A and B are shown apart, each in its own frame.
Chain A
Amino acid sequence: MSAVENRPVDGGPPVKPVRGRGPSLVTRLLESRRLGWGGLALALAAPLVIATPYALNVMTSAAIFVMLAVGLNIVVGYCGLLDLGYAAFFAVGAYTSGVLATELGLPLLATVPIVVVVTVLAGIVIGAPTLRLRSDYLAIVTLGFGEIIRICANNLEITGGPSGIYGIPGLWGDALGPAGFYYATVLIVALAVLLAARLGRSRLGRAWRFVREDEDAAEAMGVHTYKVKLAAYIGGAIWGGLAGVLFAAQLSAISPASFTFLWSALVLMAVVLGGMGSTPGVVIGAIVISLAPELLRGLADYRFFVFGVLLIMVMIVRPQGLWPHRSRETPHTAARSGEAAE
């Protein structure tokens, strides 16, 4: 391929690539890699401001919710597959670790590898038959699977039926107090956010976006769309399942009532509100969705009404989400390699 060179076309004007204006200061600040560290520092500093048991509990729930939203973002945001039954994976993770910990007496951390295996299997079992469907049909079927998992938990003996499982140990037995558990959760969730973002910027992550944009064109470029979609589903399942482990550790008791359709809807809302496919957006969306009802407690009976009105207003003002995804071309990648240093 020696003929590859930038030579002007005969008779035409010389070919000169045009580059866009450089990003503004705000854009550079918002896309800085240090932003993630800033967010983590904020989360770690929060207990210094307020550390009542109630506040720690709310903040821990918010962190777990962030992990769920980042996991669903792999499926919905990156790959464009509308999943209305995401709580299913959350439930599979929570129940697997809960059952293993209470029945076999395993420490919770020891259940993690098994949880990963089980959620991957759940992702394959739910994904393999449904991923041949497109858009609306997929949404309906995933909604069905979400309910099936919950109803199974409600009726099986090993899951404790409607009353669920109680007495689940904490992450390190009971060695961590509420503050310790909060810090551990924040660190685990931060790692999960980082890894999900890295997946999004990889060869596989690009393939997911190609599938979202145009399945046929992706297929023509050699992307095996079925396998790639299944990979997104499995990724989402792992993130959701591990969030389930944290959830079980936090509450020490789980029941089918914890995994209703409302959960799936709220996680999806966090992804859409924040900006589909955008990691910082989805993190902020999740924090807003999980903290807003708590902050609105002063309004008593009106709080969910006000919450709903706020969500509708945000979607009218910013339909693309609070922090929409921007294609990531740094000045380094936007320039040819030889010119990158300029």
Chain B
Amino acid sequence: MTLLQVRDLRLAFGGVQAIDGLSFTVDAGEIVSVIGPNGAGKTSAFNCVTGFYKPTGGSVTLDGAPVTGRRPAKIAGLGVSRTFQNPRLFGELSVLDNVRAGTHLWLKQNVFDALVHTPRYRRSEQEATDEAHRWLDFVGLRGDRAGLVRHLPYGEQRRVEIARALARRPRLLLLDEPAAGLNHGEKGELLDLIRRIRELGTAIALIEHDMGLVMEVSQRVVVLNFGKEIADGPPEQVRQDPAVIEAYLGRDADDAELAAAREEVRGVEG
């Protein structure tokens, strides 16, 4: 079943065509990676899907409903959740409050409940707290949960951001370079985390530069270059694709460099 369908997406910044006719799909429960050289338009594509950019052409549909150009909160309301390339947490709030943000859309509490402290208020606050703890456990956060989120180390902040996105209970989770800046051990934990998220039945679209991670977890890989899609298929197929190797290295590469690029695309095997 197709959950996300992007068709002939176009986005121009002035004269620069950042995305030039991109089409791809994500099925329910699937992990799809979007890769490509820097400036290929990966993050721009994510921003179009989540409503942060208004595409200049093409369409985005979620579960059959058109969402092209709608505001991000509406798209989030349809079950899409995302993380950012650089973690964007609420720095002056506690770790728990950050994750409680994910509960905003489904927490049943109105202003009257809050003013009078009805039983529903107490119940929903307890629910939000329990949910925040549950997802912090799920991502394996190490650190003080009651403290400010900006006091956490970088790797832990990344975990909090994923926990916040999961507390939304999304059908589709978009992760923008979740492994950037993580050390080897943390990457291993991230790999495990992504697999456990898929076990929940959540579809994942992933932008990532770490080829080892991409080849390991993805069911399908979409390759972008200059805003165009140059390959789409299972990891084994994409890594053999001459167009992909060329995009990563350029046309005039000699044999030795090509071999090195193949290694790079192949990633860490086993």
Contact = CB atoms under 8 A, between A and B. Distances in A.
A19 interface: yes
A209 B90 contact: yes
B88 A216 contact: yes
B51 to A, nearest CB: 8
Contact of A204 (B88, B111, B147): B111
A71 B85 CA distance: 37
A49 interface: no
Interface of B: 50, 52, 71-74, 76-77, 81-82, 84, 88-94, 96-97, 100-102, 104-105, 107, 109, 111, 113-115, 117, 121, 124, 126, 128-130, 133-138, 140-148, 164, 168-169, 185, 188-189, 192-193, 196, 199-200
Interface string A315-342: 0000000000001010001101100000
Contact of B73 (A15, A209, A225): A225
B114 A334 contact: no
A201 B82 CA distance: 25
A330 to B, nearest CB: 9
Interface stretch (A3-11, A154-162, A174-182): A3-11
- When A and B form their complex, which 5 residue pairs have the shortest distance between CB atoms, in order from nearest? A202-B114, A329-B146, A213-B90, A222-B76, A222-B105
Contacts of B138: 4-6
B111 A202 contact: yes
A5 B124 CA distance: 21
Contact of A217 (B88, B129, B148, B200): B88
Interface string A8-20: 1111100111111
Contacts of A333: 96, 129, 146
Contact of A203 (B52, B107, B141, B164): B107
A25 interface: no
Contacts of A195: 115
Given A4-B137, A219-B72, A206 B188 contact: no
A63 interface: no
Contacts of A199: 111, 114-115
Given A198-B115, A204-B114, A206-B100, A15 B140 contact: yes
By size class, the interface of chain A is: 35 or more
> Is the contact region of chain A dominated by helix, strand, or loop, or is it mixed?
loop
B93 A219 contact: no
B90 A214 contact: yes
Contacts of B115: 195, 198-199
Interface string A192-210: 0001001101111111011
Given A12-B188, A329-B145, A219 B71 contact: yes
A219 to B, nearest CB: 4
Contacts of A210: 90, 93, 101, 104
A221 interface: yes
Given A17-B136, A334-B96, A220 B50 contact: yes
B142 A206 contact: no
B102 to A, nearest CB: 6
A188 interface: no
A184 interface: no
A223 B192 contact: no
Contacts of B96: 329, 333-334
14 contacts: A9-B189, A15-B137, A16-B142, A17-B136, A203-B109, A209-B90, A213-B90, A213-B92, A216-B72, A220-B72, A221-B101, A223-B73, A329-B97, A336-B130
A220 B76 contact: yes
A218 interface: yes
Given A217-B90, A221-B168, A337-B129, A12 B117 contact: no
B188 A9 contact: yes
Contacts of A6: 137-138, 140
Nearest to A21: B144
B109 A220 contact: no
B133 A11 contact: no
Contacts of A206: 97, 100-101, 104
A41 interface: no
A17 B136 CA distance: 9
A4 B144 CA distance: 20
A107 B89 CA distance: 50
A102 B107 CA distance: 46
B104 A207 contact: yes
Given A216-B72, A224-B71, A224-B73, 16 more contacts: A4-B137, A4-B200, A6-B140, A10-B192, A195-B115, A202-B121, A204-B111, A205-B114, A210-B93, A214-B88, A220-B72, A220-B76, A220-B81, A221-B81, A334-B145, A334-B146
A201 B109 CA distance: 12
B52 A19 contact: no
